[in-house]
Chains A and B, each alone.
Chain A
Amino acid sequence: MPQQFLAQGGAIPMPQIDYGAVMPVLIVLSAAAIGVLLEAFLPKHQRWSVQVTLSLAAVVGAGVALGAYLSGAPDGGVTTFKADGAVAGAIAVDAPTLFLWGTLLALGLASLLMIGDRSLEPGGAFVSQAGLQGGGLQTRERANTTGMQTEIFPLSLFALGGMMTFVAANDLLTMFIALEVLSLPLYLMCGLARRRRLLSQEAAVKYFLLGAFASAFFLYGIALLYGYAGSVKLGAIAAATAGTDRSDTLLYAGIALVVVGLLFKGSVGPFHTWTPDVYQGAPTPVTGFMAACTKVAAFGAMLRVLTVAFEPASWEWEIPLWLIAVISMAIGAILGLTQRDLKRMIAYSSIAHAGFLVVGAMTLTEDGLSATLFYLLAYGFTTLAVFGVISLVRDANGEATDLSSWAGLAKRSPLVAGVFTFLLLALAGIPLTSGFIGKFAVFSAAIDNGNAALVVIALVASAIAAFFYLRVVVLMYFSEPAPEGPAVSVPGAFTTAAITLGTVATLVLGVLPAFALDWASAGGFAP
């Protein structure tokens, strides 16, 4: 037996890499690495401006590289990082990947703008030293007077690069590495809030322990699928499923564990328990980044895994996923009703939306794919703008996220209340917003696929969820403001740009969705 392994030794041949196709990811990840170096060598007072310039330039540059590649992209996509003689490479750059990369870069740009903002909170939303403890007047003073921990920029770029690799990964090992590259920076970013240090650190601990637990399950699923198929390539797993002489136990257990790992990242249904705590405790710009980009990445990867690897076994996972979608929508809609904290309420709303996305992801038709991609784009922009607006309403203790302090906001600031109302209507799925088009596309694809019962449940859930969005609207417009209530800060250029981008995208995708829908349905996954 050892000879058998030794015979495979020798020089490892260089894999074929299509640099043009993966250039956006390379740009983002190398900018992140350069950012870490800058942290080490630049004096403290220069870091913020240099890091902001570098990270915004990297994301824009990656977008330009993506645009340049798009014009000449081959039909049907390519797979790269291909070993000699292999059928498919480790990274698949196909139509859904390109769409998701575009989405992630646009959302990442808006998130970086929010993360870089220093006008709302003097010095920025992040603590000057991650080791600074919560509580105590002295720390509070130090926390308030000094600049921010600028490692947040390289960390966000690493997370963004990990997400881009995650949605393009064509084998499960690459997917696992990308999952960790996107998760580890996020755990740290959660713990960096300037205000409410204890809550922030608690969110980081919870996210880290549960996230590591979930990725261990994901990894065990990969190992079992490797034992089943003899390979972790998505295509090879699909091919192995077609044969009949292998152990079904390994396949079913492997699918279940891998999908649970992905559902955890997408904060779906019964695997959502970290979501409200982490969304509430994390600094608001980071919450926006997580809510928008992580969800895009998790569902992008789930679409690929379900379509490319597990489609031949779809009759085995359809019913469990059906139940999970129902549970997720029910939890999100019903528990969302009982929330008093705005960030927590939006967290439950994101769980309900994750349920709608599962409805789309389990519809393995062309329409289902393009509808889910469009939904991700629309939801990402809306939710990012929502967190942008939440970061504007402040009192002496920082952000005032308690629902009661938002009473009568329309009288103090009609513009902010109007924008927030529009965004909440988009989350509820009212026509003329992107939320309506997204829901319509996903639900009609699911009905065409014969899943009418699930769509009826989803409609009931969105009706329940609409109640708690409208409750906030009513509170803002028809209540008297409290005399000592919070003030609406005037945002600086960065946050204004991010909120405007999110709001305009929500409106444009709601009124003229055709171009985005066309792009989303440009093609399927590379084999």
Chain B
Amino acid sequence: MTPTYYLLLAALLFAVGAVGVLVRRNAIVVFMCIELMLNSVNLTLVTFARVSGELDGQVMAFFVMVVAAAEVVVGLAIIMAIFRARRSASVDDTNLLKY
């Protein structure tokens, strides 16, 4: 097994997520891109756990999943609140605070 491929795939997914956060305009899609970044980290952790033969990395992936779930709860609540007020989830519309 070559871990490099898995690591490269994870790095690619992370980059796709990061670019998505920067270019997408819908808050929900931005948030999904952040989740993609977190999951690419899980892939990295599991691959390194496999390389080193230790369980630590796999356990850490579980911690990341729990944190991601908590983040969904908080994030969707906040996005919902602003969507109800503005009827739009676009991050370009939230522009009252500037300069």
Name A residues whose Cβ lies closer than 8 Å to a Cβ of B. 1, 4-5, 8, 130-131, 133-135, 173, 176-177, 180, 184, 187-188, 191, 197-199, 201-206, 208-209, 212-213, 216-217, 219-220, 222-224, 226-227, 230-232, 276-277, 280-281, 338
Contact = CB atoms under 8 A, between A and B. Distances in A.
Interface residues of B, number: 49
B85 A197 contact: yes
28 contacts: A4-B53, A130-B81, A131-B81, A173-B60, A176-B67, A188-B77, A198-B96, A199-B96, A202-B96, A205-B27, A205-B82, A205-B94, A208-B75, A209-B21, A209-B31, A209-B34, A209-B75, A213-B37, A216-B17, A219-B64, A220-B40, A220-B41, A220-B44, A223-B45, A227-B51, A230-B54, A280-B97, A281-B97
A220 B48 contact: no
Main DSSP-derived SS at the B contact region: helix
Contacts, number: 131
B82 A226 contact: no
Given A5-B53, A5-B55, A201-B82, 19 more contacts: A133-B84, A177-B67, A187-B74, A187-B75, A187-B78, A198-B85, A198-B86, A201-B78, A202-B97, A203-B97, A204-B81, A205-B91, A208-B74, A208-B79, A220-B44, A223-B41, A226-B48, A227-B47, A227-B51
B52 interface: yes
Interface of B: 1, 7, 14, 17-18, 21, 27, 30-31, 34, 37-38, 40-41, 44-45, 47-48, 50-58, 60, 63-64, 67, 70-71, 74-75, 77-79, 81-82, 84-86, 91, 94, 96-99
A429 B64 CA distance: 42
Contacts of A217: 37
8 closest residue pairs by CB, A with B: A216-B37, A227-B48, A277-B97, A223-B44, A133-B85, A202-B94, A201-B82, A230-B52
A201 B88 CA distance: 13
A202 B71 contact: no
